[in-house]
Amino acid sequence: MEAKDPQTPELVLAEEDLMDNRHDSLPRPFQGLVKHQPEPSSSSSPSTSWDEVLLTSPSARDSMQAQHLIVEALVEEKDSLLQTIQGLQEANNAPAPFDDEWEEDRKNNRKKKRLRIFLWRGRDR
């Protein structure tokens, strides 16, 4: 069986159909932003890339802009939720979550431990 080129519209449309089935799980404010894209006309040549079809289709551009807005809104929502969680942890005197400094200290401690073991083993010789 011949593998399909990932740039072919048929493959992208199949993935798109999967995404369309998931739009019901989006938060209510975002559901109105989901637009169904029309299938590219069959008269387009097989050598036309899917990117070219997207760039020439106003509805495709609108859909891409809507998706971008959804992503931005979700990132903002995530940041807001993280701030809320951090505030609740501070209010309840919960220990601070691990940060990058802790990870860096752990790596440095491993290096120091290896060096001590190496030096200690060197004394026996």
Is 36 within 8 Å of 67 (Cβ atoms)?
A: no
pLDDT digit string (tens) for 69-109? 999 999 999 999 999 988 898 888 877 665 556 566 777 77
pLDDT, position 12: 40
Q: Label residue 111 by pLDDT band (50, 70, 90).
A: confident
pTM: 0.35
How many C-beta atoms surround the C-beta of residue 46 within 10 A?
Answer: 7
Alpha-carbon dihedral 18, 21, 23, 25, rounded to 10 degrees: -110
